[in-house]
């Protein structure tokens, strides 16, 4: 049976994302009848895939308000290579959940996931001025702690309240309207889902400490009209003050121009890590598709066979 680790416990946004992936056209067959196993952190979920305890992990990847989910990025950049096979996106709105009978004035400790905290901080400052915000491993872990009495409130999906017997003090709370989080389905390396024409590719690489090395690497993408949807740098944690660059680009490794760019990056960078090519979710920011090189490739093929049709 297929096993999927996810950032739990039940009721997290990641749990909802996994439900979505179970019915998504690209992943329903992969996940048919899969057993979902909660993990405490993205790192732990990915470690379960690396050591064979799970076939896949569903983990948060990018939030439209707070940016890259660093614990996921860092865990994907280090250790045995894993691969992203799919993504899904969810609207992120929070319920402020309390035990029945708790009034706003009673809330002293509100405990939630750090990225959730970043999305409700202003609302809490105005509406729960006596509350001290603390962080925990996930929104639903915060809901469990409220139910157990070690915190007074959490900011979490409404479903985490239903699961834990909590009631909403407020609903649809979000400092920035329209926030979304992108989640990815990660497995051990294998053939990507085929090119759809609306795809994303992720790579991580190091660079030599030389003038222009970053510009030269990015030039390999810009001269090929490849659109980037995310770029960031994170410490390598191996050598002090050295960085790994994380880049998401529009296109699939089966797009000739993307393959060409990856080959060029392989030459320009150190330890290029391919983290997958997968179909984009329906969301905003899908970017513009890479240029079609098929005519040029047909021309090259013709030349190889002794004909020039131009």
Exactly one of 77, 98, 116, 151 binds ligand PRE (CB under 6 A); that residue is 116
Using CB under 6 A, which of the segments 9-17, 170-178, 227-235, 268-276 binds ligand PRE?
9-17
Residue 21, C-beta contacts closer than 8 angstroms, at least 6 positions apart: 27, 31, 58, 86, 88, 183, 185
Q: Examine residue 7 and tell whether it contacts ligand PRE (CB under 6 A).
A: yes
Could you identify the residue written with the tokens 């939630």?
112
**Cβ closer to ligand PRE: 59 or 262?**
59
Cβ 80 to ligand PRE, closest distance in Å? 23
Cβ 16 to ligand PRE, closest distance in Å? 8
Please give the full DSSP string across the chain, using - where no structure is assigned. --EEEEE-STTSHHHHHHHHHHHSTTTTTTTTTPEEEEESSHHHHHHHHHTTS-SEEEEEEEETTTEE-HHHHHHHHSSS--EEEEEEEEE--EEEEE-TT--GGG--EEEE-HHHHHHHHHHHHHH-TTPEEEE-S-HHHHHHHHHHTS-SEEEE-HHHHHHHT-EEEEEEE-SSTT-EEEEEEEESS-PPPPP-SSEEEEEEEE--SSTTHHHHHHHHHHTTTPPEEEEEEEE-SSSTT-EEEEEEEES-TTSHHHHHHHHHHHHHSEEEEEEEEEEPPS-S---PPPPP-HHHHHHHHHHHTT----
Q: Examine residue 139 and tell whether it contacts ligand PRE (CB under 6 A).
A: yes
Q: Examine residue 115 and tell whether it contacts ligand PRE (CB under 6 A).
A: yes
Cβ 202 to ligand PRE, closest distance in Å? 17
Cβ 203 to ligand PRE, closest distance in Å? 22
Cβ 63 to ligand PRE, closest distance in Å? 4
**Cβ closer to ligand PRE: 148 or 270?**
148
The footprint of ligand PRE on residues 33-72 (CB under 6 A) is 60, 63, 69
Site string for ligand PRE, 119-138 (x = CB under 6 A): -------------------x
Using CB under 6 A, which of the segments 5-13, 99-107, 127-135, 205-213 binds ligand PRE?
5-13
Using CB under 6 A, which of the segments 7-15, 102-110, 187-195, 267-275 binds ligand PRE?
7-15
Q: Examine residue 13 and tell whether it contacts ligand PRE (CB under 6 A).
A: yes
Cβ 12 to ligand PRE, closest distance in Å? 3
Q: How far apart are the C-alpha atoms of 115 and 94, rounded to whole Å?
A: 12
Exactly one of 12, 83, 145, 201 binds ligand PRE (CB under 6 A); that residue is 12
Which residues would be at the binding site for ligand PRE (CB under 6 A)?
Answer: 7, 12-14, 60, 63, 69, 92, 113, 115-116, 138-140, 181
């Amino acid at each position: 049976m297929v096993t999927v680790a996810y950032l739990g416990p039940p009721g997290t946004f990641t749990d909802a994302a996994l439900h979505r992936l179970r019915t998504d056209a690209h992943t329903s067959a992969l996940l048919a009848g899969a057993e979902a196993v909660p993990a405490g952190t993205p790192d732990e979920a990915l470690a379960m895939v690396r050591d064979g305890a799970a076939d896949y992990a569903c983990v948060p990847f990018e939030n439209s308000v707070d940016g890259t989910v660093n614990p996921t990025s860092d865990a994907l950049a280090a250790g045995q290579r894993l691969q992203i096979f799919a993504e899904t996106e969810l609207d992120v709105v929070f319920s402020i959940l309390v035990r029945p009978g708790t009034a706003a004035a009673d809330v002293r400790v509100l405990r939630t996931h750090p990225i959730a905290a970043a999305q409700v901080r202003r609302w809490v400052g105005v509406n729960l001025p006596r509350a001290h915000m603390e962080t925990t491993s996930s929104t639903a872990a915060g809901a469990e702690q409220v139910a157990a009495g070690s915190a007074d409130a959490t900011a979490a999906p409404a479903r985490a309240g239903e699961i834990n017997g909590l009631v909403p003090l407020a609903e649809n709370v979000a400092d920035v309207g329209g926030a979304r989080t992108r989640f990815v389905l990660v497995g051990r390396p294998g053939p990507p889902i085929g090119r759809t024409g609306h795809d994303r590719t992720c790579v991580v690489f190091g660079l030599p400490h030389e003038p222009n090395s970053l510009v030269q690497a990015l030039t390999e993408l810009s001269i090929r009209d490849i659109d980037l949807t995310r770029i960031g740098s994170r410490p390598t944690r191996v050598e002090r003050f050295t960085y790994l660059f994380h880049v998401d680009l529009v296109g699939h490794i089966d797009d000739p121009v993307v393959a060409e760019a990856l080959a060029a990056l392989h030459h320009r960078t150190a330890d290029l890590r391919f983290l997958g090519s997968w179909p984009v979710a329906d969301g905003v920011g899908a970017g513009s598709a890479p240029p079609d090189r098929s005519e040029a490739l047909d021309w090259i093929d013709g030349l190889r066979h002794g004909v020039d049709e131009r």
